[in-house]
């Protein structure tokens, strides 16, 4: 899943990016409001973590312009402003969640996951496709009773396909949601990771979970 962090306080920005990346997210980040606005308008992020007091353009202005342009990314406002008025202003402008600093990193992660589930209309933190089970909270995967060990990148691709189960997902879609803006990886890397995933989750005696749609992309589960 691809996230954008717009936070001007360097130590906080660095730790957020590090923590999110280590959890398997593709994270773009900036400390400048103008740059943050450009990132938000130019890409499709699953979740944007947005500070309010920013140099250049403030967070509320970024949010207003995003919504005015029809950008549907989920926005979590992360700020030191804690009054009811501030929260109401942020939520009324189209933010999906509001978290006041200082915060527990675990709580931020939980809120990000909740927003991601909302992105794909998935309320259950556990996805089941045939006998494959994915726990979105702990990021653990089972096939039948057997737990499957995945790398963070493999897990993120599997999760993205799972939350969009029944839909055809293109390579570029996958790439955009699991790789960062500055990533130099080509879209072929998606095929490589799909290959790794298949080796780990498919069983010769069981029906295939990931199907290739020739020339278009991949499909997980039954087609809707």
Partner 1 sequence: MMRSLRTRLLAGIIGGMILLLIAFSLLIYFVIRSALVNQFDTALTSVAHVLAASVEKNPNGIDLEIDIQQMPEFTNPHRPMNYQVWKLDGEVISRSPLLGTNNLPRFHGSLNKPLYKVFTGPKNHLYRAAGTMFLPTIEADKPEVAEQTAEQPLILVVSHDAHELYEQLNLLKWLLFTASCVNAGLALIIGGYVVRSGLRPLNTIAAEIAAIRIENLTTRIGARDVPMEVAPIKERLNELLSRLQASFDRERQFNADVAHELRTPLAGIRSTIEVTLARSRDATEYQTALSGCLGIAKDMESVVNNLLMLARLEAQQISFKTESVQLSELIDFCWRCFSKKADKRGIIFENQIPSELTCQSDPEHLSMVFSNLLDNAAEYSNDKGQIRATANRSDDSVDILISNTGCKLTAEQVSKVSDCFWRGDSSRSDAGIHCGLGLALVQRIVKALGGTFSTELNEGGIFITKVTLPTDGQKTIAA
Applying CB under 8 A, the residues found at the interface with partner 1 are 8-12, 14-16, 18-19, 22, 31, 33, 53-56, 58, 80-83, 100-106, 108
Closest contact distance (angstroms) between CB of 106 and partner 1 is 7
* 14 vs 211, beta carbon nearer partner 1: 14
* 17 vs 220, beta carbon nearer partner 1: 17
Using an 8 Å Cβ cutoff, are 146 and 73 in contact?
no
Per the listing, tokens 């009324």 go with 92
Could you give the dihedral angle defined by the CA atoms of residues 207, 212, 217 and 218, in that order, rounded to the nearest 10 degrees?
Answer: 10
Closest contact distance (angstroms) between CB of 134 and partner 1 is 20
Closest contact distance (angstroms) between CB of 24 and partner 1 is 12
The pair of structure tokens assigned to 124 is: 């259950």
* 34 vs 171, beta carbon nearer partner 1: 34
Largest CA distance in the chain: 59
* 15 vs 137, beta carbon nearer partner 1: 15
* 101 vs 216, beta carbon nearer partner 1: 101
Closest contact distance (angstroms) between CB of 200 and partner 1 is 21
Closest contact distance (angstroms) between CB of 4 and partner 1 is 17
* 106 vs 205, beta carbon nearer partner 1: 106
The pair of structure tokens assigned to 199 is: 């080796």
């Amino acid at each position: 899943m691809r996230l954008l962090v717009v936070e001007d306080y360097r130590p906080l920005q660095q730790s957020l990016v590090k923590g999110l990346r280590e959890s398997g997210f593709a994270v773009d980040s900036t400390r400048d409001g103008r740059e943050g606005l450009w990132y938000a308008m130019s890409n499709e992020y699953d979740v944007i973590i947005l500070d309010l007091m920013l140099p250049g353009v403030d967070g509320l202005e970024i949010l207003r312009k995003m919504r005015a342009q029809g950008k549907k990314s989920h926005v979590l406002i992360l700020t030191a402003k804690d009054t009811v008025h501030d929260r109401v202003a942020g939520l009324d402008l189209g933010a999906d969640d509001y978290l006041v600093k200082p915060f527990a990193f675990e709580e931020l992660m939980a809120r990000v996951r909740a927003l991601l589930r909302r992105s794909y209309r998935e309320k259950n933190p556990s996805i089941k496709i045939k006998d494959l089970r994915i726990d979105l909270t702990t990021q653990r995967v089972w096939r039948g009773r057997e737990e499957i060990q995945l790398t963070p990148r493999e897990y993120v691709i599997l999760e993205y396909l799972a939350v969009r189960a029944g839909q055809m997902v293109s390579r570029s879609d996958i790439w955009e949601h699991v790789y960062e803006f500055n990533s130099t990886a080509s879209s072929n890397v998606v095929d490589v990771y799909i290959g790794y995933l298949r080796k780990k989750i498919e069983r010769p005696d069981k029906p295939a979970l990931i199907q290739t749609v020739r020339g278009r992309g991949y499909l997980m589960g039954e087609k809707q």
